[in-house]
Structure 1
Amino acid sequence: MDLQETHKLMRKAVLIAKTLEGSWSIRMKMALDIVIINHYLKQPLSKGIIERLLLKGVSLRRIKKHYKVGMKEINSLMAS
């Protein structure tokens, strides 16, 4: 991810955070998580992407539904 891509993600996160209610730091953290997860979901399926999504708290069920793959495909990627 380069600098311009990071700026775009931050702009999107600020727009989302402005629509939420509560503490600014909490709103910004939630908005950043949303934007980063959406960014990773746009990438092609790979072991690194699965690991990053799992670290961000995305469920395996959501990954399977989004990429339209089964557990066998995910397990084979994780094993290699």
Structure 2
Amino acid sequence: MNYTDTKQNMRKAVLIAKTLEGSWSVRMKMALDIVIINHYLKQPLSKDIIERLLLKGLSLRRIKKHYKVGMKEINSLMAS
């Protein structure tokens, strides 16, 4: 992610955080996670993207559903 992507993602996160309720720091953390996950889901499927999505707390089920692949494809990417 470069500087302009980061800047755009922060702007999107602030808009999302303003719609949520509760502590600002918690809202911002949740909004940033949402924006970052959406950013990575727009990228082509690769081992690095799968690892980053899993670190952000996204489930394998959602990754499979979004990319329309099976566990065999994901396992083959993770093994290489």
Q: Aligning the two structures, in what range does the TM-score lie when normalised by the shorter sequence? A: over 0.9
Residue 58 of structure 1 corresponds to: 58
User: Aligned equivalents of 1:13 and 1:56: distance in 2?
Assistant: 15
CA–CA distance in structure 2, aligned partners of residues 57 and 41 of structure 1:
13
Question: What is the letter of the counterpart of residue 10 of structure 2?
Answer: M
Structure 1 length-normalised TM: 0.99
Give the superposed CA RMSD: 0.3
Q: Give yes or no for the alignment of 1:42 onto 2:46.
A: no
Q: Deviations over 1:22-71 (max 9, x none)?
A: 00000000000000000000000000000000000000000000000000
Q: May I ask how many residue pairs the two structures share in their alignment?
A: 80
- Please list every run of 5 or more consecutive structure 1 residues that lacks an aligned counterpart in the other structure: none
1:13-24 residue pairs with structure 2 within 5 A? 13-24=13-24
Q: Report what 1:12 is aligned to.
A: 12
Matching residue's letter, 1:21:
E
Length-normalised TM-score, structure 2: 0.99
Which contiguous aligned blocks of 4+ residues in structure 1 show a shift greater than 3 angstroms? none
1:5 Cα deviation from its structure 2 partner: 1.0
Unaligned 5+ runs, structure 2: none
1:20-31 aligned within 5 A:
20-31=20-31
What letter matches 1:66 in structure 2? Answer: H
